[in-house]
Structure 1
């Protein structure tokens, strides 16, 4: 594994390409940062792959080039030829990559994407990380590592979320507790003290989530803290008590709106009553919380913005609100289907239509305690960026009428519609 944080020079000199590789796999995690004030990463990926192929030509090498990863999986049809891969993998890649490496000659010049499938090693093997690489990352302040406890397609139907498509047909593999314990001990011994469980929703199966939290407490690794994405339901008193004793750093919940009507349009299976109960239990047990809100979704209007802000002002404590504006429309999501936009047209950063006055509403209504300089600067940058974006009409043949009165969506000014 070549990691450019561990070896920054490797991304420039590409000398490692001189080795006799049978295949080289490129993991693409993100296409863009999904913020309004963002640019696409695709051009950077194109430039890098062009440099790689030129270096391989100089060395007289022709290894198999394989593309994969979450970002790649969403845009596999567009990126396969654009980045010049022989073959791409959509979804979970471990088992398919093993198949490819068994017979790489069969994939040279194939020019196709293949679908990943479940990997049995997830249930039988401890995930190990190269020691030298882990040591590099421990030098970063607040270094955090992701750990999976399960591979299960999320049961929620949030209209903006592509995770169900990315994760593929994962019916519910729950990693054995002894493997989780082994991985946590390994992470801890490397010097990492912060863990984020990367499950779609940590407490989607409450009984298993409680077992994992009990395990963390029993391991009693001094200084180890952890966090994850949670849903306000199910979230009972016993769970809150277990969390409090496990050194959880904070509980992250994402209602994405604090207006019940908009939450329903977003596909949430809970409402503000469940958020109330979750926060009450967290506070009673001294558990820090973070509440993610994204303004500008389906049905968002002046009233819904006011309702969300009134909730935040009256019920959230300092530091609990995490705020964004704008929903990046991604392929294979309910939001893309609702807008009737073909996946091929979503590669440039594309955002759900929202009222241009939304920034003014937020700055007018939100308490100053939620507007430290960094948050204010980010909001102003997003507003400035939204004004420079190209506005294009929604397709006239949308399969469903979008629940918004604003008939335009914004595209990044950086890339043309492909």
Structure 2
């Protein structure tokens, strides 16, 4: 056998995410990795736990019947990023890992965004055999050919493995060149129709990487700080292909869709010149690059909604968050949005460095006076602190954080010492009570949200659901529900 030939293996990939709020998220990464492993000659099965009634029973049945050679686990989030009602998802991963260890001697390989954020901690907590930290569709097939060969493992960038029982992480790979937009065969791997009935969107990326320096963010660690742009023509072809297969509600899930602005404009202009039949959205527009030309192109391209992530309308807080834009940019973006018909959701995060009662009121004044009443404002409170971020250093300097990095897997949050937490929570709740176009964290925890999704889908409503926030809230209030 040639030295680099890998014997075909039976691979089981488990998508572990079961968090369905505000809507279930289609596992793009797991589907891409499954596609890649199959192209490499392996027999692959993807087990998606999102909608199963008894995850451990499903896993036990699958492992007992298939007896896989390698088991991959895709882990999307460490926790729910909710300071008021935190949920530590990794705690629920432990029984799953224990079940797999009991049933099989197959190597257990972690992957997904959560793993890239804290790889050694994830390895220690779960007792996994290996972890993939970079692009799983590239690294996972390489890892499969090197399992058990520590000399070869050392040469694979962006993975973690065990030496003497302790996790060892190899340096990340150099950024790859730009290429074609990856678009997996979603129907091949998951029950797409059940996702669609919950008003989920089909995720698509136009690039990887992020060059912004927000103090709290982990995207640069996950994808790198240099852009890897996918060819605009290949993005358009992916949209056309998905829509032709009946998957029409597509969301661009880039960290920031309109940066670099020329790339976003090239994609939207090409989409505008194509009869693709898709309904498009992106909830990650940066106000710095939001202009008339882009929004006009997005309207012509078939966008049904956009989101602008501003976090605050206060210069003090925007500077403290390291956003790279100021309140003037936020107000300018609002004036531009008003000139267009695109529905827009404005996304804010209360409690960043420098936040005070005055800065919160400044943000609320912006939301009330500058955001159209037909558009939506969404407020979250508090910021999850991750190791090796500037926010972690800020929290330490302010005496708010004493845990060592290796003990920060379980969620710990930042909230500005310049304002009382209870006051901020009450202020946002009071604002929401008097503004029907407002969503806060309480809204995302409504237990009957999946029922609203299903009924909306049956009534012909299609994403984004947030466009109907005012009507949903008024209807719930008429039924006596405090929402």
Match of 2:475 in 1: none
2:199 to 114, 136, 142: 142
Post-superposition Cα deviations, 1:147-188, rounded to whole Å, max 9, x if no partner, equal 111123x222111111111113x5322112332233223322
- For structure 2, the residue ranges without an aligned partner over 5 or more in a row are 1-45, 151-160, 447-483
Q: 1:184 to 1:6 in 2, by over 3 A?
A: farther
Contact 1:91 1:115 in 2 (8 A): no
Match of 1:360 in 2: 426
Q: 1:367 to 1:50 in 2, by over 3 A?
A: closer
Structure 2 distance, partners of 1:122, 1:9, is: 41
Post-superposition Cα deviations, 1:229-255, rounded to whole Å, max 9, x if no partner, equal 111112232212111212212221111
Match of 2:147 in 1: 104
1:161-240 alignment runs, 5 A limit = 161-168=217-224, 171-240=226-295
Structure 1 distance, partners of 2:346, 2:174, is: 32
Match of 1:68 in 2: 111
Contact 2:281 2:306 in 1 (8 A): no
1:331 and 2:387 aligned: yes
1:321 and 2:387 aligned: no
Q: 1:233 to 1:185 in 2, by over 3 A?
A: same
Segment of structure 1 superposing worse, 241-250 or 137-146 = 137-146
Q: 1:3 to 1:302 in 2, by over 3 A?
A: same
1:16-95 alignment runs, 5 A limit = 16-18=62-64, 19-36=66-83, 37-56=85-104, 62-95=105-138
Contact 1:23 1:104 in 2 (8 A): no
Structure 2 distance, partners of 1:84, 1:94, is: 23
Q: Normalising to structure 1: TM-score of the pair? A: 0.81
Q: 1:202 to 1:125 in 2, by over 3 A?
A: closer
Structure 2 distance, partners of 1:150, 1:93, is: 15
1:345 and 2:416 aligned: no
Structure 2 distance, partners of 1:315, 1:32, is: 33
Structure 2 distance, partners of 1:302, 1:254, is: 21
Post-superposition Cα deviations, 1:2-29, rounded to whole Å, max 9, x if no partner, equal 2234766665242221324332111111
Structure 2 distance, partners of 1:39, 1:195, is: 28
Q: 1:348 to 1:289 in 2, by over 3 A?
A: same
- For structure 1, the residue ranges without an aligned partner over 5 or more in a row are 57-61, 382-418
Q: 1:378 to 1:6 in 2, by over 3 A?
A: closer
Contact 1:313 1:367 in 2 (8 A): no
Structure 2 distance, partners of 1:38, 1:183, is: 36
Segment of structure 1 superposing worse, 349-358 or 194-203 = 349-358
Structure 1 distance, partners of 2:53, 2:276, is: 32
Structure 2 distance, partners of 1:187, 1:11, is: 32
* Pairwise CA distance, 1:222: 2.5
Structure 2 distance, partners of 1:156, 1:201, is: 9
What SS does the corresponding residue of 1:123 show, helix, strand or coil? coil
* Pairwise CA distance, 1:220: 2.0
1:151 and 2:208 aligned: yes
Structure 2 distance, partners of 1:47, 1:121, is: 40
Match of 2:169 in 1: 113
Q: 1:128 to 1:90 in 2, by over 3 A?
A: closer
Match of 1:301 in 2: 356
* Pairwise CA distance, 1:115: 4.5
1:242-257 alignment runs, 5 A limit = 242-257=297-312
Match of 1:271 in 2: 326
Post-superposition Cα deviations, 1:193-241, rounded to whole Å, max 9, x if no partner, equal 2211121111111111111112222232235232241111122322121
Structure 2 distance, partners of 1:99, 1:367, is: 53
Contact 1:292 1:323 in 2 (8 A): yes
Contact 1:4 1:11 in 2 (8 A): no
Count of equivalent residues: 373
What SS does the corresponding residue of 2:435 show, helix, strand or coil? helix
1:275-286 alignment runs, 5 A limit = 275-286=330-341
